[in-house]
Chains A and B, each alone.
Chain A
Amino acid sequence: MRVTNNVLINNIKNNLSRNIRAMEVIQNQLTSGRRITRPSEDPTGITESLRISSRLRENAGFKQNVQDALGWASFTDETLGGLNSALQRVYELTVEGANATYEKEERNAIAAEIEQIKSEIESIANTTFGDRYIFGGTNTKVKPYDEGTWHHNSASINYGIGVGVEIPINRTAEEVFVQTDVFGTLDKIITHLENGDVAALSKDIEPIQAALNQVAEVRVRVGATVNRLEFTKNRLDGQEINYATMQSEVDGVDTAWAIMQLKDQENVYRTTLAVGARIIMPTLVDFLR
């Protein structure tokens, strides 16, 4: 084949632009940290990568929900712990008050203390987490116990903690206070104490015991929720690692490999330039004197 000056020059131009394009791709990968920067670079990869990204974002959302649910549940547990101590004290005082040897003044003193505890339990029933009443069911903006009337409902508040997986996170006044009629029992005890009705007081011990048992049972339920949430949290953490690994396998840059490629391309580019400098320069004109 007859080779002209323009053939040589065109070849160098084409090869230079091809080399520089190859370098651009690798540099882009290295600086963005992503192997795929546009869909056409790897159509299958991008489909996979988009799905995984979306799963990762969803996972992060669920993790946040679990975290919030855990906060709510452990706060409920703490509150129930306070309720438990209060009721325990009432139990002790009732047993004491049922003692026939006590004087009227002493019973009155006990009644006064129980009155105190009753108002404490009232405030426990109206506990808020953030600005929401935790025992009100979904009626979170209205005081559940107000001057002897209940405003709660027994609906559960559900958080999504997985695709199609929900978990109820609240315990309602219904199961904690109303079923066992805590306030009614307290009122009765106070009245009986004030009247010195020892026989009735002995009978009051049983409902207080029942209330205590009920609180313990609700705490067990809260504990079960916490367990399930912890378990879900671990699962979500594990999934996050899985997805992140998959993501980096599909879309991540193998830095060592990319740098090797870059160096390789640089070499080719430099060589092309050097060859170009030699080819373009001399023609016969340079030697005709």
Chain B
Amino acid sequence: MRSTFSGLNTGYSALAANQRALDITGHNVANANTEGYTRQDIVLQPARAIKSIEGYVGTGVEIVEFRRIRDQFLDIQMRTENKALGEWDIKSNILGKLEVIFNEPSDTSLSTVLDNFWDSWQLLVKNPEGITGRTAVMQSGQNLANTLNELDQQFFELQSDINNSLQAKVGEINTYAHQIWDVNQQIIKAESGGQKANDLRDRRDLIVEKLAKIVNIDVVEEQFGAINVSIGGGFLVSPKTISEVKFIDHYADPSLAQIVWYDSLADEQRGNLNINGGEMKGYTDSRDDVITIYREKIAELAKVVAEEVNKQHQAGYGLEGSTGIDFFTMRDAGPDFSASNIRVNQEIIDNLNLLAAAGELNLDTSVDPPVLADPPVFAGDGANALLIAGIKNKMTMSGGVASFEDFYSSMVGQLGIQGQEANFMLENRTVLMEQLNNRRDAVSGVSLDEEMTNMIRFQHSYSAAARIINAMDEMLDLIINRLGLVGR
């Protein structure tokens, strides 16, 4: 026997379910442009049927869950690709900055300055007696030394800038770690009843994804919905613990700065962070490998230029018969010349007559042993200047197989190749990320057309359910108010 009011309940369950469904649709539309949002849908099932003599009778609808539509495999893939993207993004950026520092091709680059330096010695050959040629050599020498000093300074500054960025990234890692910890705790609480905390999970996934771009992480989901995040084998966040990372700067030599695990309570360092991916790797690789290599190469160039010029300069004679004088001197103790440790001899700047343009002394051979005559050297003697100008094309670099120009241009070529590779990798990773993003959006993204269609669907279902209640109401009205007026 059917209960009189059972139809009302069926209608009510439909009203409630469709109302909820409209809530979800509204939530989806509201978050259509929210970063990291995953669309949700409502999963319905028929309510438990009641057995009657005729068979099982349905009692309406019930809500199973609000489902988050997400492909976990895509998440893992995106974390991996984000790591590579972060690394190449930084490398391409830093190599771009190096290209700007080298400033090739241009009229103010080291290659031009170096050419001008050798050219000025040719000028001295033609004017050894006048102040013009001597001043030209002194100035182009200073220009060369300054350019080398500046290059080295710029390399150093770039390395320091990288350390500042690393420090900022370490800060981000710690912030994200705390955020993940917080959300972890909330999720554990929220899901203790068995339901999934969809929006909290979205938030956590977004943070994890951002963290994945910065550094190599491994993510494992534990029971109760919390996750473990580790970097290179060390736990950053687990359901019960959280660690901190610390950046220890080294101002004198930026490449010696360290990134370590840090226990802030005990104020103790717990070993180096094992970085093998992400923006952090992009930064450390650029700082320690790329920039250091170019810095060393320029230092090598400066060293050989200074040594070769000095050797030849010492062999020549200044206007007053001076000899054995260095053209370049070191700024500090040395032991070797380098791009930062080179300048034009202050004595020469003060007294241009010391420039050893002449190849020989003016000796009076009429007596034995010969004595120095007056003037000590002939003013028009530019033989040594010509020899110094000739160093330009001597094979002095790379163990005597390359000239300065060969060495320098192949170095710029190498920089070009590295830059090209980084740009190429970045381009590839970017395209890949775009595709992955689109694929994820295809699964998890909100489609407004779809939501509008659903809206209409649920709205109509709601109206229809209301109609059913209306029909029940009329039936009850008939039974209660109009059927049989005996009792009145």
Contacts and interface: CB of A to CB of B under 8 A. Distances in A.
Interface of A: 1-7, 10-11, 14, 34, 36-44, 46-47, 49-51, 53-54, 57-58, 61, 65, 68, 131-132, 136-142, 153, 155, 157-160, 163-164, 166, 251, 283-285, 288
Contacts of B197: none
A139 B362 CA distance: 9
B405 A54 contact: yes
Contacts of B360: 155
A158 B387 CA distance: 11
Mostly helix, strand, loop or mixed at chain B's interface? helix
B380 interface: yes
A163 B105 contact: no
12 contacts: A3-B442, A6-B445, A38-B419, A43-B416, A49-B105, A54-B111, A137-B380, A139-B380, A140-B129, A158-B382, A164-B393, A284-B453
Given A43-B416, A50-B408, A142-B375, A6 B446 contact: yes
8 tightest Cβ-Cβ pairs between the two chains A and B: A40-B419, A43-B416, A39-B416, A140-B380, A47-B413, A138-B378, A4-B445, A50-B409
Contacts of B446: 4-6
Contacts of A284: 448-449, 452-453
A54 B125 CA distance: 20
B412 A47 contact: yes
A158 B357 CA distance: 12
Contact of B413 (A14, A44, A142): A44
A43 B104 contact: no
A43 B417 contact: yes
Interface stretch (B157-165, B237-245, B340-348, B433-441): B433-441
A57 B452 contact: no
B410 interface: yes
A47 B438 CA distance: 40
B445 A7 contact: yes
A140 B127 CA distance: 10
A146 to B, nearest CB: 14
Contact of A6 (B32, B126, B456): B32
Given A4-B442, A4-B446, A38-B99, A46 B105 contact: yes
A210 B205 CA distance: 105
B195 interface: no
A159 B126 contact: yes
A251 B453 CA distance: 58
Given A14-B434, A137-B378, A285 B452 contact: yes
B443 interface: yes
Interface string B385-404: 01001101100000000000
A157 B129 CA distance: 12
B420 to A, nearest CB: 5
A5 B418 CA distance: 38
Instruction: Identify which of A10, A61, A285 gathers the most chain B CB atoms within 10 Å of its CB.
Output: A61
B126 A53 contact: no
Contacts of A46: 104-105, 409, 412-413, 416
Contacts of B422: 40
Nearest to A166: B386
Contact of B416 (A42, A285, A288): A42
B415 interface: yes
Contact of A5 (B99, B393, B439, B448): B448
A36 B99 CA distance: 12
A97 to B, nearest CB: 38
Contacts of B380: 132, 136-141, 157
B379 to A, nearest CB: 4
